[in-house]
Chain A
């Protein structure tokens, strides 16, 4: 039997009892829609959770720190090793080259921090700065974007995080006074006062001027609170703190390194490889994977709840097909008498069951998508009203319905149809033609 004829026959047979087919399909529609809505909710929660966790969604980033001496000693001590600072592996340029040679590494960005106190003042306001030194050539790999100004770093300039101005405070503020507005620092000259103490306890200060050339977009990450200067600038300051002794990177290494992977797929392997090299590597990806596996379970549970509705629908299809076969026993006998093979009969009835599943799946995918959208509208308005009242849940309670979910729902419902119709269809093929023809 040709496929086109088979499809035509299936459609004609389904259209014989439109009401019954529709009622059966409604069961599938409800089940499929339940699966789509609940899995969409699971995906939405997962998306919201990972975005809230990392804001930036930069999952290709791996943070690498040297293993601190005391930690190394404890760990090595357990193995019977004495452990010492000389054995501590530093993030030296050679080590960085070693990391850069690992497969999947897009870039290695060394960072360094101020080794002493640095207080910034602007007008009457002050701020204890968290300076990060970075090579201007490597800066683009950090994917920092300027909300105001640009990210072109030079000596004597600084790029500041979005939250830095909010943290300027008036040291002479007294309770009852009006709180000063955060200063607009863009393009402003900031006074940096660095303080160190000699072995005699004598305080030595050094004052510098820094011009703000850019304020970064909010990332909900470390950069929001950081002030970026060139690595050479930071080296100069640290040399001053170090009593004029220059920082030797080959000996002291960098305090921290950011490794950017070419894509998320490399991150786990790279993290493991860097850890094996003797450093402490951490990636948001590893936490996201944990979160993902949690939400995967949640989605399976949600999908399972929806699947119960589909199971009920499957029983409905099986019932409808059993009834159809009972009613059409005579016809099955006739089909066999005029030359239909058992396979032809099987394909016809399986096709009809699949057709009911497909119709239900199509409706279920559509209504599931529609309900998910409606859920988002309702959830957004409820959250907005709660936020207005000054409380409520700030997280994103929303659904996300990817196209693959709709396609999966459609195919799954069709499969449910085939599975439910299987035994009735097999029973149809087993009918002896002569008995079927005599059936009343």
Chain B
């Protein structure tokens, strides 16, 4: 299952002291189902704000977000929590793993809130850790993992409830080149499974994966591009095989 995102006249206004900041200024946007969208733009352009609003982590000042034609209910905390639990998987720049939990527990953490049994949580998290190449790190705590490994754990966590939409905020921002490429490939693989992936990034390499690229400036969309990019994946895969470290 995939998710089509429609953003209508989305505004987000912050007050910083006496100053009013328009982080998003009437954004209209359609992110097609089964697409890999990269949102780019300079710092303060509203990229992350847009991502968080789409993910239901923040509430818009005005406008609405529709997922598969159904508006996200920002007024009801329970509905919003269920939306985040079932529809969205988040990946953050700073990984946001719980330091006291093992990799396995971190991956399965979203399933705790879904009321999944311990055995099923364990089975699903183990399978995902295998998928991201960290089966042998299941019992390690975040401090015992490298940055790349931590982000892979975070990626597995984002996938654990099998959401139709993955939202990634600068997922390669804290990683070295090789680890960043690996995360990019994983996101691409998830897209290839028929899901929708939206990535906020400064990393120009991310465009090689994108089916859509959106440029934001001062809270407004300035450019939208659509790509046919099969060849670039192959190129990147070759680079990965040469440069990747275990």
Chain A residues within CB distance 8 Å of chain B = 1-2, 4-5, 9, 12-13, 16, 330-331, 333-344, 432-434, 437
Contacts and interface: CB of A to CB of B under 8 A. Distances in A.
Interface of B: 52, 55, 57-59, 77-78, 81-82, 84-86, 90, 92, 96, 98, 100-101, 109-110, 112-115, 117-118, 157, 161
A341 B57 contact: no
A338 B90 CA distance: 7
A16 B77 CA distance: 29
A433 B56 CA distance: 9
Contact of A1 (B52, B84, B113): B113
A150 to B, nearest CB: 70
A339 B58 contact: no
Contacts of B58: 432-434
Nearest to A330: B96
Contact of A340 (B52, B57, B113): B113
Contacts of B115: 1-2, 5
Nearest to B83: A339
Contacts of A4: 118
A5 B101 CA distance: 14
B11 to A, nearest CB: 16
A331 to B, nearest CB: 6
B57 A339 contact: no
Nearest to B100: A16
A342 B79 CA distance: 11
Main secondary structure on A side of the interface with B: helix
A339 B118 CA distance: 17
B96 A437 contact: yes
Contacts of A336: 57, 81, 84
A91 B81 CA distance: 79
A16 B99 CA distance: 10
Nearest to B51: A434
A434 B50 CA distance: 12
A437 B110 contact: no
A341 B96 contact: no
B98 A331 contact: yes
Contacts of B98: 331, 334
Given A5-B118, A434-B52, A341 B78 contact: yes
Considering the complex of A and B, which 8 residue pairs feature the smallest CB-CB distances, nearest first? A339-B85, A338-B110, A341-B81, A434-B58, A433-B57, A434-B57, A339-B113, A340-B113
27 contacts: A1-B112, A1-B115, A2-B115, A5-B112, A5-B115, A12-B100, A335-B113, A337-B84, A337-B96, A338-B84, A338-B90, A339-B82, A339-B84, A339-B85, A339-B113, A339-B114, A339-B161, A340-B81, A341-B78, A341-B82, A343-B78, A344-B81, A344-B113, A432-B58, A433-B58, A434-B57, A437-B57
A186 to B, nearest CB: 76
Nearest to B105: A12
